[in-house]
Amino acid sequence: MSGESGKGPLDLGAAELREALLAGEHTVVEVVEAHLARARERDGELSAFQFLDDERALARARELDAARAAGEPPGPLFGVPLALKANMCLAGVETNCGSRVLSGYRPPYTATFVERALAAGAVPLGITQMDEFAMGSSGENSAYGCPRNPWDPTRSAGGSSSGSAVAVAAGLCPISLGSDTGGSVRQPAAFCGIYGLKPTYGRVSRYGLVAFGSSLDQVSPFARNVRDLELVLETISGHDPRDSTSLPLPPFEPERPAELMRLAGLRVGVPSQYRGEGLDAEVGTVCDAALAQLESMGAELVPIELPSTEHAIPTYYVVATAEASSNLARYDGSLYGARVEGDGSLQGMFAATREAGFGEEVKRRILLGTYVLSAGYYEAWYGQALKVRTLLRRDFERAFESVDLVAGPTAPTGAFRLGEKTSDALEMYLSDVFTVPASLAGLPAVSLPAGFLPGDGGLPVGLQLIGPALAEARLLRVAAAFEAATDHHARRPRPLEAGGVA
């Protein structure tokens, strides 16, 4: 199945794959079959997918081949296999958010961003595993199985978009969609050694993304190269009249600089708060090397302060849980999803359904969110959190007066062992310490493969770049320059190397 490029379809990124398809090297059916076969072969071990939807994927592939044969113009994601997180609505396909309470729920409609990806020619292969309702940083809070990190199956792939990250990292598909509320795409991207981009809040429509923290949630792509990341963002972004919080802007357009690797004049802010307590020393060393690389390409590293950072985690856990407590109220067994009758009364059914349907972490956050919104506590908690959120925004605004972007580690550690943090919720929450500030400020941020830890079997490390609102093009230009100058992104997990390219 190897084409003129010498690479099989499984080795190609989305843009390359499209080119190969248009060059007639493969048919879409061949490409999709190859990915489905790989996924089936590998997923017993990795558990990236909740389920593969062979039938739908192949039917779609045949349609695309036929459309191509009929001379229809190919979309920007023509024939590209795609994985969707289990909180994304595709009409008729189970969207359970990793929760028992939504088991069997098939939405009657399709999310705007999924529609756009489909219209661009993407082929959804299946639905990926996630922490229940996107609450978690390890993939362990799912009712349907926990993905394994392809670099070390005893370790977490990160979360909550665990399965979508694993699918791309392990080569089960070239691109996938996750959702990032407080780091749910960037942190697993870092753990799995791939790219993850959280766009500016409002860039991508949330219509059809099952809500966790509505003021934070953004659909976010994973890819193995920067060009693919751009391609997906171009496809799914742009105003959607069905989401009042989507920005009134046309789709994202990438910058294509003439001199990719020149970063002269770029001022990179390095916040002291992103290097403090809790940061694994080796992760810090890898990030320092990555920053030095940027410097060697002409960027200027500027020490900056983001003083409100220390309040970001508590603020996030107030805002996100408050919104979640209300967003998740609808799962009561009355209209859809699972139902447990309870004592026969209406309230009894609600209580029994929710008691049986939600996992422990989701219940913890609903309780927390309910508490912070309660009469008498609102001002002290939710009201206060909104104020701190404003301070965090101002921190960034001030920083961006003197720097073009902010850089630091995506996560304080490399991928931790499964089970390592499950007993301590607070410690788990702290793995989002560097990703949460950009979420609260609504800013775009990308995690890129920055290098590998010397110990721990060489786990990947992610570097996070945070930009001002709508500066995705800038972030991606810098990411592309770094990509061109390094080969961290090209290194794949071992099993993949073993079973992959001939």
- Which residues are at the interface with another protein (CB under 8 A)? 87-89, 95, 97, 102, 105, 107-109, 111, 206-211, 213-215, 241-245, 322-323, 325-326, 329-332, 334-336, 344, 346-347, 350, 370, 373-375, 378, 382
DSSP-assigned letter for residue 248: S
Asked if residue 137 has a cis previous peptide bond (ω within 30° of 0), the answer is: no
**Which is closer to another protein, CB of 244 or CB of 423?**
244
What's the closest the beta carbon of residue 61 comes to another protein, in angstroms? 26
What's the closest the beta carbon of residue 350 comes to another protein, in angstroms? 5
22 three-class SS: helix
Q: Could you confirm whether 198 is annotated as catalytic?
A: no
What is d(CA 434, CA 410) in angstroms, rounded to the nearest whole number? 6
What's the closest the beta carbon of residue 446 comes to another protein, in angstroms? 24
**Which is closer to another protein, CB of 249 or CB of 329?**
329
The three state secondary structure string of 393-460 is HHHHHHHHHHCCEEEEECCCCCCCECCCCCCCHHHHHHHHCCCHHHHHHCCCEEEEEEEECCCCCCCE
**Which is closer to another protein, CB of 51 or CB of 336?**
336
Query: In 3D, which of 6, 36, 15, 415 has the Cα closest to residue 175?
Result: 15
**Which is closer to another protein, CB of 296 or CB of 390?**
390
What's the closest the beta carbon of residue 3 comes to another protein, in angstroms? 38
Query: In 3D, which of 329, 199, 215, 182 has the Cα closest to residue 251?
Result: 199
**Which is closer to another protein, CB of 300 or CB of 378?**
378
Are the CB atoms for 431 and 414 separated by under 8 Å?
no
**Token couple for 319:** 């805002």
The type of residue at 375 is A
**Which is closer to another protein, CB of 111 or CB of 268?**
111
Q: Could you confirm whether 215 is annotated as catalytic?
A: no
What is d(CA 128, CA 47) in angstroms, rounded to the nearest whole number? 8
Are the CB atoms for 53 and 127 separated by under 8 Å?
yes
**Token couple for 329:** 């109220």
What's the closest the beta carbon of residue 242 comes to another protein, in angstroms? 6
| The one catalytic residue among 184, 220, 431, 439 | 184
> Phi and psi for 450 in degrees, rounded to 5?
-110, -10
| The one catalytic residue among 160, 220, 431, 447 | 160
**Token couple for 463:** 């570097």
What's the closest the beta carbon of residue 122 comes to another protein, in angstroms? 19
| The one catalytic residue among 47, 85, 220, 308 | 85
Q: Could you confirm whether 85 is annotated as catalytic?
A: yes
CA 253-259-260 angle, to 5 degrees, is 60
Q: Give the residue numbers marked as catalytic.
A: 85, 160, 184
